[in-house]
Chain A
Amino acid sequence: MKSKKDGSIVFAIPALIWYLAFMFGPLLAMFFISTLKWTFIIAKPEFLGIGNYLALFESEEFYTSLANTLVLVCTLVPVMIPLSFMVAYYLSQKPRGHRFLRVLMFTPGLISLSATAMVFFAVLTPTGLLNGVLQNLGFGEQTNAWLGSADTALLSIWFVNLWQGVGYTAVLLSARIEGVPQEIFEAARIDGANHRTMMWRITWPIIKDYLGTVSMLQFLWTIFGGAGLIILLTGGGPGFSTTTLGVLVYQKAFLEPRLGYSQAAAVVLFAVGIIGMLLIRRLFKNKEN
């Protein structure tokens, strides 16, 4: 008997071809290039085996970059998701002006990376808005080179990422919350549940799967896409204080340049991404599943 699934592969072929050519191919190339000693793209590469990996694991910059990546991801995502969830719950209550609020919340997601970087550069630079405000409020001693100081640069990047992600994620989550049957909330209200209970003990478990998906997206954005913001704001400096693995991959590929070494770092970044995704999946897995 012919299975119902037999014909479905035909419709997936274009997507599979696309995936193999543009996803799987570059992925294989990344692994292959990581085994080469290859400086400039016009230079002749030489096979190096695991040499790039050995060099990577011996270098201080790698461990600093790995630590910065983990610090960013492990502190940003756990703060951003509950915060976004709280905002999303509020939005889902459809308060007065909620449509305007939604647009406002979504705005950071509509601003290009370079525009975001420009705005925050203007805010955080020594002659910028933040120091100006501090100066005018009589806190002149607290002014700082927020992006230039090794003590505050990573924290500044953290806040910019949070600003960029909270509203966007909240709008996504609120759409999901609105999809929850209202009868559940009405029943909870009749049973005397307050907002705190409805938020954390009813809504959170119901949309847990979706929270997992959003966390995963945010995690992936932070470790991969987040490098762009760092490159624009601090270039990974001062020293290696804001260099993440994503920034290291860029710098070794385009600025120094050591393509093989860069791709060895990219392989490690890929592994971090896979491990992180598995952990998030496990964390948000519903017990019933």
Chain B
Amino acid sequence: MRVSGRRLIGGTIAALTTATLAISGIAPTAYAETPTLNLLSLYHTSGNTPEAEAMKLLISKFEAASGAKVNLVEGTASNLATQYNSDLLAGKAADVMMVNLFDATSAWLDNGAAVPVGDYIKQWGLTSKIQKTAIADWTSKDGLVQGFPFAGFTWPVWYNKALLAKAGVSKVPQTSDELIAAAKKLTAKGIAPIVVGGSDWSGNKLWTQIVEQFMTPTEAKKVLSSGGFCKSPAAMKGINEFVKLRDGGVFVKGIEGYTADQMNTAYYTGKAAIMPAGSWAMPNTPPAIAKVTEMGGMPVAKGAYYKKPTAFSAYSAVGLFVGPAGLKRLSLVKQFVQTLYSPEVVAKFVSDVAIVPGTNTPLTASSLANASPLLAQSVTKLPSKVDYALFPDAYVGAHGTPLTKASALAFGKGVSAARICAAADNAYKN
């Protein structure tokens, strides 16, 4: 078949335009009419994603039970909120959104882009099925439940016991001084001590974890919500402790330039002995490294508010928001939530995605171990070893980006505590 030059050019332009619009998100997402449930989701069914099979199970079970179809639109963490906001303004928004709770999505309730679900939890008999702490994590400052909690995480500190032993460190450090001593031994053997993405969110979480250690949860909430690091003696103690650790050589050289991906690589390949990482990193851990990994917490200083090393745990990884469009299909939303909370679906997400469920679904040791022996360890053994520090995201909100830049500065050589606290406070100005 012969294609004329003009037609070819026209076709190419049309294809490029369509692709450009699709990539840029300019084209409004098309959702079909009822009886279809329009779902915008961080979890995908396509590609080689760990959650693909679990999502397929969820959708097929829902479709079989309801007779309705799911129109799934997949998004990513970086663009899903923007995509939904654009769709909403265009009048083409999804009914329900499976997404993480962070500053952009936590603004949905205040701006009418999502509806509170506290009453539905009661009316649909879900109160006993959802963990109270999970509901608390999804409750806004005004006391409204923002969405149905689903997936949580643990965020411990990983210790490669084989590398510690090679350096002559017999047990996982419990205090800052023990950590500094262990780091010296590791460095002397050419092993990097703690690796973390000093330039990104992973470093920011570790920095916050260390800074929080002298603060009561109430004070931490206050400082993380509105700043005031320099004026808070407890926060300053924490920042000084961070400087002490950094200058004591507990971090890998060049830490300020590392990213979370590089952190994972360094730990997975046995080049670094310690890393703070969430449960989502557990299924990808090479078995040889998982075998020698002990989950613990970040050591604390003497006099800290927390008496044990600290870790994070929260239920904000993924939940289900209901948009205004979902109110028109409330019976379908109800069925979808019930399917989502069914033991079979929860178990599949645990085994495939290594989530810590926000439901009260009983999990057997074998189902956890199937997901990852590290997940099993961090769910069963970790709680007795650590204190859980306040997870900052709900309080930091929109200040997260500038605060991450401040913590990135903190990882730099020779940066003083005064400069760090000023940079952190600056993140809250304006």
User: Interface on A for B, CB 8 Å cutoff?
Assistant: 39-44, 55-56, 58-61, 124-127, 131, 143-151, 234-241, 243, 251, 254-258, 261
The distance from the CB of A260 to the nearest CB of chain B, in whole angstroms, is 11
Given A126-B257, A148-B199, are A238 and B411 neighbors across the interface (CB < 8 Å)? yes
Closest residue of A by beta carbon distance from B252: A126
Taking CB atoms, residues of chain A closer than 8 Å to B259 are 125
A3 to B72, CA, bound (A): 62
Check B89 against A148 for contact (C-beta < 8 Å). no
Check A251 against B401 for contact (C-beta < 8 Å). yes
Check A148 against B258 for contact (C-beta < 8 Å). yes
Taking CB atoms, residues of chain A closer than 8 Å to B254 are 126-127, 131, 143-145, 148
Taking CB atoms, residues of chain B closer than 8 Å to A241 are 409
Check B88 against A149 for contact (C-beta < 8 Å). no
- Nearest 9 A-B pairs (CB), nearest first? A145-B257, A148-B257, A126-B254, A239-B409, A148-B256, A238-B408, A145-B254, A237-B405, A255-B401
A56 to B404, CA, bound (A): 20
Taking CB atoms, residues of chain B closer than 8 Å to A257 are 104, 398
B423 part of interface (Cβ distance < 8 Å): yes
B232 part of interface (Cβ distance < 8 Å): no
Closest residue of A by beta carbon distance from B107: A40
The distance from the CB of B202 to the nearest CB of chain A, in whole angstroms, is 13
A237-B409, A239-B405, A255-B401 known; 15 new pairs, CB 8 Å cut-off, are A43-B110, A61-B402, A61-B429, A125-B259, A145-B254, A145-B258, A148-B256, A150-B415, A234-B199, A236-B405, A237-B405, A240-B423, A240-B426, A243-B405, A258-B430
Q: Which residues of chain B (72-119) have a CB below 8 Å from chain A? A: 82, 85-86, 88-89, 104, 107-108, 110-113
B412 part of interface (Cβ distance < 8 Å): yes
Check A256 against B402 for contact (C-beta < 8 Å). yes
Taking CB atoms, residues of chain A closer than 8 Å to B413 are 149
A236 to B412, CA, bound (A): 15
Cross-chain contact of A125 among B257, B426, B430 (Cβ < 8 A)? B257
Given A237-B409, A238-B408, are A127 and B262 neighbors across the interface (CB < 8 Å)? yes
Taking CB atoms, residues of chain B closer than 8 Å to A43 are 107, 110-111
A40 to B109, CA, bound (A): 12
Check B107 against A41 for contact (C-beta < 8 Å). no
Taking CB atoms, residues of chain B closer than 8 Å to A127 are 254, 262, 266
Taking CB atoms, residues of chain A closer than 8 Å to B258 are 125-126, 145, 148
We find that the number of chain B residues with CB closer than 8 angstroms to chain A is 42
Task: Encode B397-424 as 1/0 by CB contact (under 8 A) with A.
Answer: 0110110111011011101000000010
A124 to B429, CA, bound (A): 32
B325 part of interface (Cβ distance < 8 Å): no
A39 to B81, CA, bound (A): 14
Per DSSP, chain A at the interface is loop
User: Interface on B for A, CB 8 Å cutoff?
Assistant: 82, 85-86, 88-89, 104, 107-108, 110-113, 198-200, 252-259, 262, 266, 398-399, 401-402, 404-406, 408-409, 411-413, 415, 423, 426, 429-430
Taking CB atoms, residues of chain B closer than 8 Å to A251 are 401-402
Which among A149, A234, A236 has the greatest number of chain B C-beta atoms within 10 A? A149
Taking CB atoms, residues of chain A closer than 8 Å to B423 are 239-240
Taking CB atoms, residues of chain A closer than 8 Å to B89 are 41-42
A241 to B82, CA, bound (A): 27
Taking CB atoms, residues of chain B closer than 8 Å to A236 are 405
Taking CB atoms, residues of chain A closer than 8 Å to B409 are 150, 237-239, 241
A251 to B403, CA, bound (A): 12
Given A127-B262, A148-B257, A256-B398, are A238 and B430 neighbors across the interface (CB < 8 Å)? no
Taking CB atoms, residues of chain A closer than 8 Å to B406 are 239
Closest residue of A by beta carbon distance from B271: A127
Check B107 against A147 for contact (C-beta < 8 Å). no
A256 to B403, CA, bound (A): 11
A286 to B110, CA, bound (A): 59
The distance from the CB of A143 to the nearest CB of chain B, in whole angstroms, is 7
A193 to B340, CA, bound (A): 83
Cross-chain contact of B107 among A39, A131, A237, A243 (Cβ < 8 A)? A39
Cross-chain contact of B199 among A39, A237, A255 (Cβ < 8 A)? A237
A234 to B406, CA, bound (A): 13
Given A237-B199, A237-B409, A238-B405, are A42 and B257 neighbors across the interface (CB < 8 Å)? no
Check B113 against A42 for contact (C-beta < 8 Å). yes
Check B111 against A42 for contact (C-beta < 8 Å). yes
A239 to B411, CA, bound (A): 10
5 inter-chain pairs at a CB distance below 8 angstroms, sorted by A residue, are A43-B107, A60-B429, A149-B412, A237-B408, A239-B408
Taking CB atoms, residues of chain B closer than 8 Å to A239 are 405-406, 408-409, 423
The distance from the CB of A5 to the nearest CB of chain B, in whole angstroms, is 34
A257 to B401, CA, bound (A): 10
The distance from the CB of B162 to the nearest CB of chain A, in whole angstroms, is 21
The distance from the CB of A250 to the nearest CB of chain B, in whole angstroms, is 10
A60 to B427, CA, bound (A): 10
Which among A56, A150, A237 has the greatest number of chain B C-beta atoms within 10 A? A237
Closest residue of B by beta carbon distance from A40: B107
